[in-house]
Amino acid sequence: MEDVGLILDLVLAFGAALVGGFVAQRIGLPVLIGYVLAGVLIGPNTPGWSADFERVQLLANLGVAFLMFALGVELSFAELQRMRRVATVGGAIQLTLTFGLGAAAAIVLDWSLPAAFLLGGAFAISSSLVAIKLFLGRGEGTSLQARAALSLGVVQDLSLVPMLALLPLLAGTEDNLAVSLARSLGVAIVALGAVVVLGTRVVPKILFLVAGSGSRELFLLSVVVIALGTAVASHAAGLSLALGAFLAGLVVSESEFDSQVLTEIIPLRDLFATLFFVALGMLIEPRILAGQAGLIVALVAVLVVGKFVIGTAAFLIGGLEPRTATLAAIGMAQIGEFSFVLAGAGLGFGIITRSQYGLVLEVALGSILVAPLLMRFGPVLADAVSRLPGIHERTATLLGAAPPHEELSRHVLICGFGRVGSELGAALERRGLRYAVIEINPAVVRDLREAGVIAYYGDSGAEPLLLRAGVRRARTLAVTVSDLVSAQAAVRIARELNPTIDIVTRATDADVVEILRRAGAGEVVQPEFEAGLEFVRHVLRRQGVSARETELITSRRRTNFYDGGEASERS
């Protein structure tokens, strides 16, 4: 009889994730929480039909590799280079202080000094995978805060190497600390060098050769081999799978094939990354959770709050502005898979007991469950951080000269000056129409002010900022930001302060069109839908349909989409 055990485990894991994610989304929770709770239900520690953890974990590693590889492809060496101060200065501060926080918690719990070292290390290392999934869920996968969190995550991943090298010494099985550290660091440096050299010289040639065959299947196979091969090589050298896959993605990002590689890998990324969170849920032991609930909750609170405060300070000192620093710190206010690796190694050396190992796992999983909920309060927390003594003055220095205070009237107020906002601004400039800008990126604000544009730094959803930008006297408000919370707040506040203002806003997804309409937007633009209509217009005209009829078809379709009449049209 055929062995279908692996297939059954896949069906069970994906099915549970589907149900858990759907239920979580319907009740207003992040889908990540649904995935983790689904893992609890099919885990070995819960009564009923359970999946094989080892097999699910093995497949979950594919998700880790594909997710980090895709992220590397989306970024570039140049973008990470701009984050070097955040990575070095901020990373050193964050690692040192969070290590001390974890060690202090262990001492309070009366753990041994070697065990305190291990808990400190576990507290210091966040899960880059969890952080990136949080940002991807907000449509901010390549945002400044995501890049900052990732740069810090790379430093944390590298710090795991010396931590693991120290464990034999702490356990009394290694006498020569210098030799142990030198061996581990030497292997890591050689491995990183090999990845960069081979990646820059060999990978582009392989992709060029395979792309020349014209076979999409062969191209996909080459991408998978590069991603997984580099990840495995990294792991064999004592580094993490995630770091190796990320470096492979960075190398590919410098080639001319980056867009096609991303197209091929994203479906695999989204599919297998789900298993990572299901596998995390399978680790939860309800027995330990029930027996030490109070202690676990207390440690999760100390961990999340401590890492958030320390992370925010580290990112600020690293040179980020308050909002970006706050959101990046929220993304990293958890511990994950590398803490499991460190705790597992400590258990193997006898540094911690089985009970202490279980406690580390439960605290880590608790922090991962809390992280998506904390992210929802990101704009509020960012606003609070911006108002702290000294922070506002520091930000003002970064921005350069403030715009002259003048009574703007009947102007256009643009919230967000990315690709959409800058295009609108350029059109207004050409027509000689006055406008003001609210933008969260301090570099953009500084450049706009130097160019003579009236620009204000801050969150578009902040009422004092909207008032200063003259929202009461503005003729039109154009909200182009992708952050739904900020967009919704900006629309609602503007409508309250100026009932006659014309408001046009961008909807990143079709699901939020009605949300923004209810907030007070007069017109909502959904980019993907508008692109689809442009295709319709182009094809119909080329097929001989008259301009008048084409305009009628697209207008009717636009009305049905934005006014919510699609359901009745289909019936």
| Residue in 7, 136, 127, 83 with CA at minimum distance from that of residue 508 | 136
Helices and strands of the chain, counted as H and E runs: 29, 6
pLDDT in the model for residue 109: 92
Nearest-angstrom CA–CA distance, 144 and 325 = 9
Burial 281-315 (b: 16+ CB within 10 A, else e): bbbbbeebbeebeeebeebbebbbebbbbbbbbbb
Nearest-angstrom CA–CA distance, 270 and 31 = 13
Nearest-angstrom CA–CA distance, 255 and 246 = 15
| Residue in 399, 421, 412 with CA at minimum distance from that of residue 481 | 421
Contacts of 83 (CB under 8 A, 6+ apart): 147, 148, 151
pLDDT in the model for residue 403: 55
Burial 435-454 (b: 16+ CB within 10 A, else e): bbbbbbbbebbbebbeeebb
Nearest-angstrom CA–CA distance, 567 and 409 = 41
Nearest-angstrom CA–CA distance, 301 and 370 = 9
| Residue in 467, 464, 461 with CA at minimum distance from that of residue 483 | 461
3-state secondary structure of 352: coil
Cβ atoms of 36 and 281 closer than 8 Å? yes
pLDDT in the model for residue 495: 93
pLDDT in tens, the chain (571 residues): 456 778 888 889 999 999 998 998 888 777 888 888 898 888 888 887 788 888 888 888 888 788 778 877 876 666 667 777 888 888 899 999 999 999 999 999 999 999 999 999 999 989 887 888 888 777 677 677 888 888 888 888 778 777 877 787 787 765 565 666 666 667 667 766 776 677 667 777 888 888 888 788 888 888 888 888 888 887 777 666 777 788 888 778 777 777 778 778 888 888 888 888 888 888 888 877 777 888 999 999 999 999 999 999 999 888 787 878 888 999 999 987 778 778 888 888 889 888 888 888 889 888 988 888 888 888 788 878 877 776 655 555 555 555 555 567 889 999 999 889 999 999 999 998 999 999 887 778 888 988 888 998 877 887 878 888 889 999 999 999 887 778 888 999 999 999 999 999 998 777 788 888 888 998 998 888 888 899 998 999 899 988 889 989 988 888 888 776 453 343 3
| Residue in 213, 271, 219, 273 with CA at minimum distance from that of residue 245 | 273
Domains annotated on the chain, with CATH = 5-386 (1.20.1530.20), 400-525 (3.40.50.720)
Nearest-angstrom CA–CA distance, 556 and 537 = 12
Contacts of 76 (CB under 8 A, 6+ apart): 250, 253, 254
pLDDT in the model for residue 395: 55
Cβ atoms of 248 and 199 closer than 8 Å? yes
Q: What are the Cα distances from residue 249, in Å, to 154, 161, 229?
A: 14, 21, 12
Contacts of 338 (CB under 8 A, 6+ apart): 125, 127, 156, 157, 160, 240
Residue 386 C-alpha from the chain's centroid: 22
**Which 8-state DSSP code applies to residue 403?**
P
Cβ atoms of 404 and 413 closer than 8 Å? no
Nearest-angstrom CA–CA distance, 399 and 240 = 39
For residue 264 the two structure tokens come to 């091929």
Report the greatest alpha carbon distance in the chain: 85
pLDDT in the model for residue 1: 44
3-state secondary structure of 502: strand
DSSP letter string, 276-288: HHHHHHHT--HHH
pLDDT in the model for residue 9: 86
| Residue in 455, 464, 457, 524 with CA at minimum distance from that of residue 488 | 524
Residue 254 C-alpha from the chain's centroid: 22
φ, ψ dihedrals at 56, nearest 5°: -65, -40
* Amino acid type, 218: L
pTM above 0.85, yes or no: no
Cβ atoms of 333 and 304 closer than 8 Å? yes
For residue 172 the two structure tokens come to 């009394």
| Residue in 265, 246, 258, 245 with CA at minimum distance from that of residue 208 | 258
Nearest-angstrom CA–CA distance, 135 and 46 = 31
3-state secondary structure of 545: coil
Burial 524-547 (b: 16+ CB within 10 A, else e): bbbeebeeeeeeebeebeeeebee
For residue 538 the two structure tokens come to 């182009």
The 8 Å CB, 24+ separation contacts for 520-526 are 520/491, 520/492, 520/494, 520/495, 520/496, 521/479, 521/491, 523/562, 524/562, 526/561, 526/562
3-state secondary structure of 464: helix
3-state secondary structure of 413: strand
Helix residue ranges, H only, 42-89: 53-74, 77-81, 84-85
